[in-house]
Amino acid sequence: MANKAGMSTNLGLPAIPEVESIELFSALLTVYNAIKNLGYSLDFYTGNTPISAGEYADINYISSLQLQKTAIVYVKLIADVSAGHTINLVDSGGLRARKAQSTAQPCHGYAVVGGVTGETIPVCLIGLCQSIGGLIPGTTYYQSASAGQVTPTNTGQKVGIALGPKHLWFNP
């Protein structure tokens, strides 16, 4: 019988190795534990960790938001940016990045790290940005007319909602 042990994936392994030899059992048990740890890590990484209703109140909402690297694109800069700046992706000899500004240069993501013209940086297209301060939790933020900035004033392009003073759930 396979052991699911609270994971979202059935590993297809019995709870313990089913062998006669104690030496083989001992060696296989180490491998079983490594595979189970990999399964737990995969669940944590993908956000598939099973959570019971009784644990909901104990969960930190920030640490439970995980898209990981599924929404990251690496793009060459055509202008200097800082971490947290809103980013406009544009065709300029290939896909390039610059600061977003109003609706003329709409926001497509945010800079995960800062960089200078010519460097390639990771740009997050959707996810949790922790590089912007002074946010009001529960407030919707929009692309500002100021390049690379967000504002609570409705400018026509929503970029996300603040979950905390430095936590913007980014979803333009």
Average pLDDT, the chain: 84
pTM above 0.85, yes or no: no
Q: Find the angle CA(116)-CA(121)-CA(126) to the nearest 5 degrees.
A: 130
CA-nearest of 169, 143, 171, 146 to 157 is 143
pLDDT tens readout for residues 95-116: 999 999 987 899 999 999 999 9
CA-nearest of 91, 54, 97 to 77 is 97
pLDDT tens readout for residues 140-155: 999 999 999 999 999 9
- 168 near 132, Cβ under 8 Å? yes
Least confident of 9-23, 85-99, 126-140: 9-23
- 70 near 127, Cβ under 8 Å? no
Q: How far apart are CA 58 and CA 42, in angstroms?
A: 22
Query: What does the domain layout of the chain look like in residue ranges?
Result: 1-50, 68-170
Q: Which run of H or of E encompasses 77? A: strand 72-77
